[in-house]
Chain A
Amino acid sequence: MMLQVIFALVPGIIAHVWFFGPGILFQILLACTFALGFEAIILKLRNRPVRLFLGDYSAVLTAVLFALCIPPLAPWWITFTGMLFAIVIAKHLYGGLGHNTFNPAMVGYVVVLISFPQAMTAWLPPSSIAPNSLGLSDALITIFSGHPPVGLSWDALTEATPLDAIRTSIASGQMISEARQSPVFGDFGGLGWEWIANWYVLGGLWLLWRRIITWHVPFTAIGSVLVLGTIAWFIDPGSNPVPMEHVFSGALVIGAFFIATDPVSGCTSNRGRLVFGIGVGLITLAIRRWGGYPDGVAFAVLLMNMAAPLIDRYTRPRIFGQ
């Protein structure tokens, strides 16, 4: 099951490589290595069968999701710290597979986001508009040394993400239309990002078709962002982005299909999942609009994880004959 979720991520990963270079592949590899290492050590410490639990691919999935959330050239110790928190603290200290209250990948991501804000904003521009694109070896050197290759600086390499661009332009009193002049925007979302999101949707639809996930969370998470984003855009198109941009920028699509659908930390009944999805959508939108971070999917998922047991309690289905 976890393996199928990883397969479903492959189209999105390919798109990621296409637009932002091969750095992400190293990040995935690195994250998987750390995740499996931590998982093996802590399983040993907890006297659990190591091979059995490594074979369930839950740690690999956590690692892949984490790697897809961080900048492709982030230094290795970011991944290390993220995986340490995700696997050891968020997963195993809460009781291991099936018992974690919070989504491990998102805990790892939020820890590094808060701890290393500088490194976590070092996103690359899509290669089509990048002045300096890095080769394989350069990417590897950057990740392991934590410094850009000789002759280049971080400023020359990185570029604000579309959501960053919107945020800074609104903060400086610009209109959305002015912010959209930036080359990081594409047709209906961020340049490159929109296509990655499309490919994630494809993977997500495959998961739906395979009945690995149900439609409830992705539909309501994206739906609530669309509905509310549309309302906000109608009221004030000057300071609110086009609703489609909300969906196709940032982590909303991967979050809605791959992260908020985590069964362990989410809601278990279908009605509960509807509430959960709406919650994720609303909180994401609120953080993007008023919060201190450009994107809020990770925080939204963690906050809804906290609410999940309560939601489950009040959305129990009616028992046969009662």
Chain B
Amino acid sequence: MKHDLVKQARSAGEHLYHFHGGLRLRHNKKISCQIPVEKTPLATRYYVPLLQQSGREAEPLVSAGQKVLKGDSLGCFDHFGGGHVHAPTSGSVSAIASHPISHPSGDDGRCVVIRPDGLDQWRELEPVENWEHADPSELRRIIRESGIVGLGGAVFPTGFKVDRASDHAIHTLILNGSECEPYISCDEMLMREQPDAIILGARILQKAVGASRVVIAIEDQMGVVNTALTSAVKTSGAENIDVIKVTTIYPEGGEKQLIKVLTGVEVPSGGRPTDLGLLCQNVATATAVTRAVLEGKPLVERIVTVTGSGVRKPRNLLAQIGTPISNLIDQCGGYAPDAARLILGGPMMGYALASDSNPVIKAANCILVLTEDDIQPPQPEMPCIRCGECARVCPAILLPQALNSSIRSELWEDATELGLADCIECGCCDFVCPSHIPLVDWFRFGKAKLRSLKVEREQAEAARERFEAREIRLERVKRERKQRIANKKAAMQSDREKQQKIAAAIERVRSRKGEDS
């Protein structure tokens, strides 16, 4: 069965399939694609959050007052096989302080605050001279240490992903360029402007995991991208790289949905694409790999779409990680007078920020400013009438209406059985719900609750095991003591018998002596 799936996955891109549900949304992408990507000028302060990838914060490696060069490591992670956060420019560390970190929770976190010296001077770079002859494990080490994460928004450490993938027989590398969420155009601009870097990155990643093919998925509405990529493939001389156009349906850019479209195979629930011999990476991640390997530069910048009717000149910017968002807005001509909401990410999966002093993070693919007109007035939430619209659009083929009621009733077993863990939080159900129920918020709450319940259960299990071990130990101690006493008694018993024998022998000798005399 599984062998068949892998076999079918090998034919990725030869035939296109459909996934269940999804939405055709208005694109709103053109407004930010009119002018070329521009680099943001140096900021006066950089706030580099130590929480940059999924998982826990990095441990800081610098202290206040220390001088750093661009690309120096500011902190390292102890999970997901390690990884680093790097200085976005040269200067001095003015503090390691609590600052808003642009996290969905809205919480503050520790940030390394850098005061630039204006030189923007790189540390000593160690590019790989001849990557085509480099050892794959060496390439994976560079990817890991360059702080590269999935730049599509999930920010899962790429180094960990390719390390894990190298344990599987990966046959196909899929580069995800199907940026399906409205407004976001950073990947589209990247594919237009730097197709060669993407193709190079694809080839390096291909070598790092030993894949024989590369499939680059782009949307059918990205006109010039197709020609740019195709000619870049041609000039690179690489074989086995295909550019495939897929129909634009949200959330096609989701890893599992894209794999379904390209191969017809569904990634098993709870499993990973690597189980099918596939590795999926974002196109921007591929360029980050190119920079890291060929130039020795760690990930300190990314392309960010600044868009929405709330900014005067929507466009794409190449921004350093840690730059305050207000700098980007200024570069785009500032806010429109009726700007009302600042969102990090797209309109479907993004989240509102409290302030534009928040820094650009690695997950920041888009900064969306909406006006009063864009934002629908908050509709009062009505009870669910089980109309099933949510189930019709759910790409994970779940029953959001049933999940909603099981979570609200705290029926966690039911929620698990209904596939809560398979929810990809795409927001399609929210979008269509006629009762305006914030379904995804409930699902996130439910997932967090399931996680904490699991931790509790594991703790209880550990406590039970400890208790049982103690009981066994006490039992053993008791048994041993008993045994010792018994042994002693037996010894004493045998002592007594011996003495009696000796006495009897003496008696016999004596009596014999008496007979002799």
Using a CB–CB cutoff of 8 Å, the interface residues on chain A facing chain B are: 1, 49, 52, 56, 58, 96-99, 214, 263-264, 266, 268-270, 312, 316-322
- Give chain A's interface secondary structure class: loop
CB neighbours of B271 from chain A (8 A)? 321
Are the C-beta atoms of A319 and B419 separated by less than 8 Å?
Answer: yes
**Given A52-B380, A98-B383, A98-B386, A268 and B399 contact (CB-CB distance below 8 Å):** yes
Residue of A nearest to B381 (CB): A52
Query: B391 is contacted by which of A96, A97, A98, A317 (Cβ under 8 Å)?
Result: A317
Closest Cβ of chain B to A52, distance in Å, is 6
Residue of B nearest to A322 (CB): B269
Residue of A nearest to B401 (CB): A268
**Given A97-B383, A98-B384, A319 and B396 contact (CB-CB distance below 8 Å):** yes
Are the C-beta atoms of B385 and A97 separated by less than 8 Å?
Answer: yes
Indicate if B267 sits at the interface (CB-CB under 8 A). yes
**Given A268-B399, A268-B401, A317-B397, A322 and B422 contact (CB-CB distance below 8 Å):** yes
Using a CB–CB cutoff of 8 Å, the interface residues on chain B facing chain A are: 19-20, 256, 260, 266-271, 380, 382-388, 391, 395-399, 401-402, 418-419, 422, 434-435
CB neighbours of B399 from chain A (8 A)? 268-269, 316-317
Residue of A nearest to B19 (CB): A320
CB neighbours of A269 from chain B (8 A)? 388, 391, 399
> In the complex the two chains form, what is the Cα distance from A56 to B379 in whole Å?
13
> In the complex the two chains form, what is the Cα distance from A49 to B256 in whole Å?
42
- Give chain B's interface secondary structure class: loop
Residue of A nearest to B419 (CB): A319
List 7 A–B pairs whose Cβ atoms lie within 8 Å, in order of A's numbering. Answer: A49-B380, A96-B383, A268-B391, A317-B391, A317-B399, A319-B269, A321-B269
> In the complex the two chains form, what is the Cα distance from A319 to B380 in whole Å?
30
CB neighbours of B256 from chain A (8 A)? 320-321
CB neighbours of B386 from chain A (8 A)? 98, 263-264, 266, 268
Query: A263 is contacted by which of B19, B270, B385, B397 (Cβ under 8 Å)?
Result: B385
Closest Cβ of chain B to A17, distance in Å, is 30
Give 4 closest A-B pairs by Cβ, nearest first: A98-B383, A321-B269, A319-B419, A263-B387
> In the complex the two chains form, what is the Cα distance from A176 to B20 in whole Å?
49
CB neighbours of A319 from chain B (8 A)? 269, 396-398, 419, 422
Closest Cβ of chain B to A268, distance in Å, is 5
Apart from the given pairs A268-B386, A319-B422, A321-B270, 10 other A-B contacts in the complex at a CB distance below 8 Å? A52-B380, A56-B382, A97-B385, A263-B386, A268-B388, A269-B391, A320-B269, A320-B397, A321-B268, A322-B419
> In the complex the two chains form, what is the Cα distance from A316 to B399 in whole Å?
8
CB neighbours of A97 from chain B (8 A)? 382-383, 385
Residue of B nearest to A262 (CB): B385
Closest Cβ of chain A to B244, distance in Å, is 21
Are the C-beta atoms of B383 and A99 separated by less than 8 Å?
Answer: yes
Closest Cβ of chain B to A260, distance in Å, is 14
Closest Cβ of chain A to B248, distance in Å, is 20
> In the complex the two chains form, what is the Cα distance from A321 to B20 in whole Å?
12
Are the C-beta atoms of A1 and B387 separated by less than 8 Å?
Answer: yes
Are the C-beta atoms of B269 and A1 separated by less than 8 Å?
Answer: no
> In the complex the two chains form, what is the Cα distance from A49 to B382 in whole Å?
11
CB neighbours of A58 from chain B (8 A)? 385
> In the complex the two chains form, what is the Cα distance from A272 to B397 in whole Å?
15
CB neighbours of B397 from chain A (8 A)? 317-320
> In the complex the two chains form, what is the Cα distance from A268 to B388 in whole Å?
6
Residue of A nearest to B384 (CB): A98
> In the complex the two chains form, what is the Cα distance from A18 to B313 in whole Å?
62
Among A58, A214, A264, A320, chain B packs the most CB atoms within 10 A around the CB of A320
> In the complex the two chains form, what is the Cα distance from A270 to B389 in whole Å?
11
> In the complex the two chains form, what is the Cα distance from A316 to B391 in whole Å?
11
> In the complex the two chains form, what is the Cα distance from A320 to B127 in whole Å?
43
Among B270, B386, B391, B402, chain A packs the most CB atoms within 10 A around the CB of B386
Among A49, A97, A264, A316, chain B packs the most CB atoms within 10 A around the CB of A316
> In the complex the two chains form, what is the Cα distance from A133 to B332 in whole Å?
76
Residue of B nearest to A319 (CB): B419
CB neighbours of A317 from chain B (8 A)? 391, 397, 399
Closest Cβ of chain B to A248, distance in Å, is 29
CB neighbours of B384 from chain A (8 A)? 98
Are the C-beta atoms of A321 and B266 separated by less than 8 Å?
Answer: yes
Closest Cβ of chain A to B29, distance in Å, is 27
Closest Cβ of chain B to A266, distance in Å, is 8
> In the complex the two chains form, what is the Cα distance from A266 to B391 in whole Å?
15
Are the C-beta atoms of B266 and A320 separated by less than 8 Å?
Answer: yes
> In the complex the two chains form, what is the Cα distance from A317 to B386 in whole Å?
15
> In the complex the two chains form, what is the Cα distance from A256 to B435 in whole Å?
24
> In the complex the two chains form, what is the Cα distance from A303 to B385 in whole Å?
19
> In the complex the two chains form, what is the Cα distance from A318 to B422 in whole Å?
12
Are the C-beta atoms of B419 and A98 separated by less than 8 Å?
Answer: no
Are the C-beta atoms of A1 and B434 separated by less than 8 Å?
Answer: yes
Residue of B nearest to A273 (CB): B388
Closest Cβ of chain A to B435, distance in Å, is 8
> In the complex the two chains form, what is the Cα distance from A320 to B419 in whole Å?
9
Are the C-beta atoms of B388 and A263 separated by less than 8 Å?
Answer: yes
> In the complex the two chains form, what is the Cα distance from A214 to B399 in whole Å?
16
Are the C-beta atoms of B396 and A98 separated by less than 8 Å?
Answer: no
Residue of A nearest to B387 (CB): A263
**Given A319-B419, A320-B20, A98 and B385 contact (CB-CB distance below 8 Å):** yes
Closest Cβ of chain A to B462, distance in Å, is 30
CB neighbours of B268 from chain A (8 A)? 321-322
> In the complex the two chains form, what is the Cα distance from A99 to B418 in whole Å?
20
> In the complex the two chains form, what is the Cα distance from A316 to B388 in whole Å?
12
Closest Cβ of chain B to A232, distance in Å, is 33
> In the complex the two chains form, what is the Cα distance from A269 to B388 in whole Å?
7
> In the complex the two chains form, what is the Cα distance from A49 to B380 in whole Å?
11
> In the complex the two chains form, what is the Cα distance from A184 to B385 in whole Å?
39
Closest Cβ of chain A to B224, distance in Å, is 33
> In the complex the two chains form, what is the Cα distance from A169 to B384 in whole Å?
47
Are the C-beta atoms of B402 and A264 separated by less than 8 Å?
Answer: no
Residue of B nearest to A213 (CB): B387
CB neighbours of A214 from chain B (8 A)? 388
> In the complex the two chains form, what is the Cα distance from A51 to B269 in whole Å?
44
Closest Cβ of chain A to B255, distance in Å, is 12
> In the complex the two chains form, what is the Cα distance from A321 to B5 in whole Å?
12
> In the complex the two chains form, what is the Cα distance from A152 to B382 in whole Å?
50
CB neighbours of B380 from chain A (8 A)? 49, 52
CB neighbours of A1 from chain B (8 A)? 387, 434
Closest Cβ of chain B to A83, distance in Å, is 20
Closest Cβ of chain A to B436, distance in Å, is 12
Are the C-beta atoms of A321 and B422 separated by less than 8 Å?
Answer: yes
CB neighbours of B270 from chain A (8 A)? 321
Residue of A nearest to B422 (CB): A319
Are the C-beta atoms of B398 and A312 separated by less than 8 Å?
Answer: no
CB neighbours of B260 from chain A (8 A)? 320
Are the C-beta atoms of B402 and A312 separated by less than 8 Å?
Answer: yes
Closest Cβ of chain B to A254, distance in Å, is 20
> In the complex the two chains form, what is the Cα distance from A214 to B388 in whole Å?
10
Closest Cβ of chain A to B418, distance in Å, is 8
> In the complex the two chains form, what is the Cα distance from A308 to B399 in whole Å?
15
CB neighbours of B402 from chain A (8 A)? 268, 312, 316
Are the C-beta atoms of B422 and A320 separated by less than 8 Å?
Answer: yes
> In the complex the two chains form, what is the Cα distance from A264 to B386 in whole Å?
5
Closest Cβ of chain A to B298, distance in Å, is 35
CB neighbours of B383 from chain A (8 A)? 96-99
> In the complex the two chains form, what is the Cα distance from A99 to B435 in whole Å?
14
Are the C-beta atoms of A321 and B391 separated by less than 8 Å?
Answer: no
Are the C-beta atoms of B395 and A320 separated by less than 8 Å?
Answer: yes
> In the complex the two chains form, what is the Cα distance from A98 to B271 in whole Å?
36
CB neighbours of A318 from chain B (8 A)? 397
CB neighbours of A264 from chain B (8 A)? 385-386
